[in-house]
A and B are shown apart, each in its own frame.
Chain A
Amino acid sequence: MTKKLITPSTTTRRGALKTLGLGGTALAASTAMPGFIQAQSSAPIKIGFQVHRTGIGASYGRWYDRTSQAAVKRINDAGGINGRMVELIPEDDGTDAKRGAEVIEKFATQSNCDIAFGTLFSHVVIGSAPRAGELKLPYFVVSEGHHVASGMLNRYTLQPGITDVKSQVQAMAPYVASNLGKKVCMIYPDFAFGHDHRDYFSAAFEAQGGTINAKIAIPPTETSFTKYFPQIPRDTEVIYHVMTGPAVLTFVKELGEFFGPSRPELFGFIDSLEAVDIASPGLEFLEGSYMWEGMPRYVQTNQSEWDKAYREAVGVDENGASVSDPRDISTYAHMFGCWETLNIIKAGMEASGYQGPADRAKLIEAVEAMSDMAEGMDHPQGAKIFNGKTHQTFGHQYITKVEGGRMNLVHTTSIEDTLYEDEVDYTTQSF
């Protein structure tokens, strides 16, 4: 049996006239309404940008903003996404959960954004994500919280551009156990952020054969810490500290006064010292201590060409400060997440042939289908593995040592060090 590949023409005079008429009408319409036709094909893709302009997250927000603007400029300079320019629609969330949800509603129902993007502080993300899910607005977050991978949120919320705290913390354990000591005393703020560190690190460290000899929880309103230091056991080899907020300067100063010149090794997370000059008065005691960094603030001897180009694009000098003001220290360990997330959004929109809000589900499926992300200009922090089921990315972590008022890289973890069992499969949820 053969297929008839060419059907005989059945054109009639009436049909030809109808076709010509329709074609003429379309031609006339395109001439008479060029703006309308143009708007359908080249209107910018609107990305609602939830940003901490005010509130406790303002120093992060300032640099998230600069990084995102630089990333969008690069995307637009290269021709945009699917031939359309990208427009960021920034809106202050006040680092507040209620305002964050309001901003998401504004993006979805007033600004007519294609997607939402942002933000750092977990309570804003968790307060906003339910509304994003209900409004069916893809919400790409740069929060580093474990809330995405824990399964708490929904299919519309993804974190493809920055690793989460669980993977960061557990990846530190092998280095600490092998190089700094086997007996660790943990000092952490007595709320969820500190509890995450306590739980994830102690489990990972004990798996390395180490011992947590004390867990000292500091009340969140505490302003003086000296009274807690006698609780540090005498045989402590490493103090693991994750204090947050402005009190961190007092914490470090009082710790220095308590121990004097002979102290255990110190290991901490950079989070509370982001946007703070490590050479600030009062931080001298950190000399010789170790820090987690998502991306090293200071230019390292093995600097990649991608880091160099990324710094130049965002306007960051070799010390991690603004090129226009050396006192304006960046949040370098986190803000790369904005750059990388926007590039992932671009890749997802191109893979899904995204044209408008009707393609939002396709966009999410396209991002869920991603896995290996190679280091490069789109991913200057390093290679990553994205887990489409948990909507969470995994990547290298960096450990630096404070030496001579700067932080020098001493260890880079493997991606495998950061992996853990899936806790959710968002792909089983319907759109």
Chain B
Amino acid sequence: MDRALTLHLAIIAALALAFFILPAYHAGNLARIMVLAIYAMGYNLAFGYTGLLSLGHALFFGAGMYGLSLSMQHLGTPTLPALAIALACAAVVAGVVGALALRTKGVAFMIVTLMFAQAGYLVALYFSEWTRGEEGFVLPQTMRQIAGIDLTTAMGRYFAALVLFAITLLIIGHIVRAPFGRTLIAIRENEARATMLGYDVQRLKWIALVISGTISGLAGATYALLFGYAGASFAAVPYSILPLLYVLLGGAGTTLGPLIGAAFMIYLFDLSADITDAYMLIAGVVLVLLTMFLPQGILGTLRARRFKWLP
């Protein structure tokens, strides 16, 4: 077994153990962090590995969230089929957005993805008869279970988050080291060269964006399922910025950077809020310092300076 896979399995095992060691509050936080890390891992595939700086991933997160919650709420769909619907929704939306947005590059790509996400947000508001718009709606507690496992309990929620996180991590870990992932990195590093070498760059970028969007949709669906709420605010612009911050802080193009970044951000806000009401200021200063002194993110810097083998 190689070191990267061993590290991933060790992290998964440590997370499983953490539930039994950590106080209830931190275990609950960790469940949420794992869900957001899934979102950031999806984003990382597009941004960190393929170089697609999207500002519209909240659209995919929202597509997954609404795909699951609307089908459960209005059609009474059981959890697993609803999860499949959520993934299909996110994949289709990502496919359509990718087909159009990937005709642009750089800043134009950022703007186009941002506009698509804003359009998605407005659609959620517009169809408030179904979505309850910015207010959102609650998923009934009785529906939130898989195979008899109650996902509203602390343990059910935590291990559901862990299983989905582990599956995503192992899949991403595999993808980025497979020839497909290597090609994505080649595109990120020098797109013209990859094209000249004969790769169908457009098609590969599209596939990367669809996988990225689908994983983001999985995170949205998981959030609704585990925390019992779906609302349009999760499809708004700030939720497109969050995974970018998680990835930049943790380390773009590292498999575990999204987990580190999500945990860092959540605890940065939480702990600084315990110190002062001006916690946003503290968080802002820390983020500026991190960007100045660790421009490759926490894991990215560790990989560059010491652990070259980090995936």
Q: Mark B118-149, 1 if CB is under 8 A from A, else 0.
A: 10001001101100111111110100000000
A195 touches B128 (CB 8 A): yes
B117 smallest CB distance to A (angstroms): 13
- Contact (Cβ within 8 A) B25 A110: yes
| CB-based nearest B residue for A217 | B126
Among the 9-residue stretches B181-189, B196-204, B229-237, the one with 4 or more Cβ atoms under 8 Å from chain A is B229-237
Which residues of chain B in 190-235 are interfacial with respect to chain A, using CB atoms and an 8 Å cutoff?
A: 227-229, 231-234
Smallest CB–CB gap between A431 and chain B, Å? 13
Does A96 contact B233, Cβ atoms closer than 8 Å? yes
Is there contact, CB below 8 Å, between B233 and A130? Answer: no
| Residues A154 and B141 in contact, CB atoms below 8 Å apart | yes
Which residues of the partner chain A approach B279 to less than 8 Å between Cβ atoms? 92
User: Contacts of A219 on B, CB cut-off 8 Å?
Assistant: 122
Which residues of A lie under 8 Å from residue B273 when comparing CB positions?
91-92
A70 in the interface, Cβ–Cβ < 8 Å?
Answer: no
Q: Is the CB of A192 within 8 A of B229?
A: no
**Interchain nearest-CB distance for B30 vs A (Å):** 11
Q: Which among B134, B277, B280 has the highest number of chain A CB atoms within 10 Å?
A: B134
Do the beta carbons of A192 and B132 come within 8 Å of each other?
yes
CA separation between A92 and B274, bound complex, in Å? 10
- The verdict on B291 contacting chain A, using a C-beta distance below 8 Å, is no
Task: Report whether A221 and B136 are in contact in the complex, using a CB–CB cutoff of 8 Å.
Answer: no
B24 CB within 8 Å of chain A: yes
Q: Is A274 an interface residue (CB 8 A)?
A: no
Q: In the assembled complex, which residues on chain B have CB atoms less than 8 Å from the CB atom of A105?
A: 25, 28-29
Q: How far is the CA of A82 from the CA of B266 in the complex (A)?
A: 37
Query: Residue B71 at the A interface, CB < 8 A?
Result: no
A85-110 Cβ-contact flags toward B at 8 Å (1 or 0): 00000011000111101100110011
B135 near A130 (CB under 8 angstroms)?
no
Residues A134 and B25 in contact, CB atoms below 8 Å apart: no
Report B66 CB to chain A, min CB distance, Å. 14
Tell me which of A19-27, A120-128, A280-288, A333-341 binds B: A120-128
Residue among B133, B135, B152, B227 with most chain A CB within 10 A: B135
Residue B179 at the chain A interface, CB threshold 8 Å: no
Is A190 engaged at the interface, CB distance under 8 Å to the other chain? yes
Interface bracket on B? 35 or more
Q: Taking the complex as formed, is A147 at the interface, i.e. its CB lies under 8 A from any CB of chain B?
A: yes
Known: A98-B234, A101-B229, A102-B270. A192 touches B141 (CB 8 A): no
**Residues in B neighbouring A127, C-beta threshold 8 A:** 136, 227, 229, 231
A110-B233 in contact given A97-B136, A122-B135 (Cβ < 8 Å): no
Q: Does B57 contact A (CB under 8 A)?
A: no
Tell me, yes or no, whether A297 is within 8 Å of chain B by CB: no
Q: Closest residue to B24 on the A side, CB-wise?
A: A109
Chain A residues 123-148 with CB under 8 Å of chain B are 123, 126-127, 129-131, 133-134, 145, 147
A193 interfacial by beta-carbon distance below 8 Å: yes
The answer to whether A130 touches B32, judged by C-beta atoms less than 8 angstroms apart, is no
Q: Mark A322-358, 1 if CB is under 8 A from B, else 0.
A: 0000000000000000000000000000000000000
Is the beta-carbon distance between B122 and A123 smaller than 8 angstroms?
no
Which chain B residue has the least Cβ–Cβ distance from A130?
Answer: B228
Chain B residue, CB-CB nearest to A95: B233
The 7 closest A-B pairs by CB, nearest first: A130-B228, A192-B133, A110-B25, A109-B25, A191-B133, A109-B24, A191-B125
Please give 20 more A-B residue pairs, beta carbons under 8 A apart, in addition to A53-B277, A195-B128.
A54-B280, A92-B279, A97-B136, A99-B269, A101-B229, A105-B28, A105-B29, A110-B25, A126-B137, A126-B138, A127-B227, A129-B138, A130-B227, A131-B228, A134-B141, A134-B152, A153-B138, A190-B126, A191-B125, A221-B118
Interface residues of B (CB under 8 A from A): 23-25, 28-29, 32, 118, 122, 125-126, 128-129, 132-139, 141, 152-153, 227-229, 231-234, 266, 269-270, 273, 277, 279-280
